[in-house]
Amino acid sequence: MKVIGVLLSLLTILFAGLAAANTIEIDEQFTSEKINSIYYSFAPTSIATAQQSDLKQWQTLTNKPLNLGIEQRPVWIQFTIKNTLNTRVTPILSIDNPLLNEVQVYHLLDKRRSSSININAPPLLPQQQIKNEPLLVKLTLPAHSNTTVIVKVSNSSGLRVPLTLWQADALFTYKSKLNLLYGLLIGFVFSLAISCLILYAFSRKQYFAYTGAITLMLSILLYFICGFSFIHTRSAGTVQLMIPMLVMLITVLFLPLQQQVCQPKTVTWFKVQKIIIAIYALLIAFIWLFPTLVVTLFCLITTPIVLGYYVVTTLLCIRQNPSEPQKALLLALCSFLAAIVYFIITVSGLYIFTNSRVAFVFICSLSCAFSLGYAVMKLFILQRDEQVTTQQTLIAKSAAQDALLHERLSLQESVRQELETQVDERTFELQVTLRELEEKNRELEQLNMEDPLTGIKNRRFFDKKLVMELRRSRREQTPLSVIMLDIDKFKVINDTYGHLTGDQVIRTAADTIKKQLQRPLDEVARYGGEEFVVLLPNTQNDGAIAIAEKIRHAIATNNVHVAGTTISFTISAGVYTSVAEDINNPEIFTERADKALYFAKQHGRNQVINFPIPQSQSRSV
């Protein structure tokens, strides 16, 4: 593999001078674009040396994502983004490989560093700008600007860095649909595993237990590959270790399942197979102590060999005594082997592996799970039919036992019907559970829109609601008013009475503001800290000022009683009203209302200021 990597690197260097990385342009029709035209280099040791180095010395990659195989050196990636719009935009850079140990993103504007983000494994989210299973970074691009992005990527088990630039709404829409689909497929494989384990509990057939264990680990493997595990796992290295370990454990479990399904006769091939699997299992027990790269290479080298041996021995069994369960097992082995071959091609750098191309792995995994389920169910039915046939033969031989055998068959039939009924009931319970999970997910989504301290809406809800109301205002040509409010001298309250009392003041302010809003469409949200924002659709400026004064007066006359202490406080407000013209720039409403609020805070507090601020008012104050 190292030889292949070196040859690919030499070919890349030879053709690097013939192509140049294209600039990514953002225009009105921009939704997303894969960044397949980049410069990359292993030479820089810091961002300063990366900026100072000549791009002619960098290697050029065009028309395909970056896949350097099992390369362990840190790689520096550079590309340019051009904003052709008249407004500032905030696209999202998606690094579609969650299995990276460290990613550093530097955003340069006019050769000066505008921002830098350091992502040390996806679960460590305090520095990551957006929480998601891939690595996401929000970039701020001024109007009519050319900006450069430099990315440093380090990983212990190979470098595969597919990059995509997204418009935020398009990304979230795409990821919501994709995650829902993959989640349902993983849930289906998981439910199949649970069903097999339930069947084992009732039938005590070991092949149900082996199938349940294989499909269960297969669903966990898909869960890790999709990146969902980073919600819980605190290290990308842990996931990089778990994936090959799960693959090898699944491979080992195929042996007892094959023994149950094929029931091979004692021949040399199967004796050798047992010895190979015993050694393989012993190595697995200690291989996890080695570095992740060693574990991955061991898995990718040995697993296809073991699976190939499984395929050969299964073919021998089919040749001797063909049956549908054996053919279904062969299909499952081939499907799993195809997925492993795909991983080998990906890790070796011959093909890029991204979440958008994980469909092939899902197809192979679903084919494997379906085939295993069909194999054991068909085997169960054949064994049951064989038992029935044996009983019927006994009935034909002894007429005296007809009544007894008939009673036994009726009893077996009733047991079978009861088993099928129980399976149907369990399946129905699983469906009900899935519906309950969907309802819980909707409840969690609703909780994500609320501020846990005050019970009112949070800033995330306000940002979405503001965009909706801007569209309505422009469509219906009605005024939209925004009131920004801030508790006066809140730091003094916190320093004097403590943070618990400060929290009670914030809750009291939120409840008072909410009581002053009479219309269902009026919304109040906590904007941050002690700052609140009120959204008033179809409201004239005079009405907005009146509501702001009403809120200010209500808070000024309302005291907070905490632990025998009475606290009085005031609030300042800034008001802005306008008919929306540019729905792509919702920040203009909050910025202007905030300017009025800032004026109120700087000139006496406990007052309402309307934007724009007249010069006469400024001089009088």
Which residue has 């001298």 as its token pair?
Answer: 489
Catalytic residues: 530
Cite the residue boundaries of each domain of the chain with CATH code 1.20.1070: 178-391
Q: Record the pTM.
A: 0.53
CATH 1.20.1070 matches 178-391: yes
* Residue among 406, 77, 98 at smallest CA distance from 230: 98
| 243 class by beta-carbon count within 10 Å (0-12 exposed, 13-18 middle, 19+ buried) | buried
Architecture of the domain defined by 20-166: Sandwich (2.60)
Token representation of residue 416: 């079978």
Buried b (16+ CB within 10 A) or exposed e, 338-368: bbbebbbebbbbeebbbbeebeebbebbbbb
Token representation of residue 613: 């601020």
User: What span, in angstroms and rounded, lies between the C-alpha atoms of 536 and 355?
Assistant: 42
Architecture of the domain defined by 459-610: 2-Layer Sandwich (3.30)
- Give the DSSP letter of residue 399: G
pLDDT at 115: 57
Cite the residue boundaries of each domain of the chain with CATH code 2.60.120.260: 20-166
User: What span, in angstroms and rounded, lies between the C-alpha atoms of 313 and 101?
Assistant: 40
Pairing between β-strand 523-528 and β-strand 531-537 as defined by DSSP bridges: antiparallel
> Out of 76-85, 227-236, 272-281, 285-294, which region has the weakest mean confidence (pLDDT)?
227-236
User: What span, in angstroms and rounded, lies between the C-alpha atoms of 136 and 270?
Assistant: 50
Strands of the sheet with 523-528, listed across from one edge: 523-528, 531-537, 480-487, 571-578, 608-611
Buried b (16+ CB within 10 A) or exposed e, 370-404: bbbbbbbbbbbeeeeeeeeeeeeeebeeeeeeeee
| 252 class by beta-carbon count within 10 Å (0-12 exposed, 13-18 middle, 19+ buried) | middle
Q: What is the mean pLDDT of the chain?
A: 82
Pairing between β-strand 571-578 and β-strand 608-611 as defined by DSSP bridges: parallel
State residue 605 phi and psi, 5-degree precision.
60, 180
Pairing between β-strand 24-26 and β-strand 75-83 as defined by DSSP bridges: parallel
pLDDT at 237: 66
Pairing between β-strand 559-562 and β-strand 160-161 as defined by DSSP bridges: unpaired
Residue 161 pLDDT level (bands cut at 50, 70, 90): confident
Q: Which of 92-106, 429-443, 519-533 has the highest mean pLDDT?
A: 519-533
Cite the residue boundaries of each domain of the chain with CATH code 3.30.70.270: 459-610
> Out of 43-57, 127-141, 521-535, which region has the weakest mean confidence (pLDDT)?
127-141
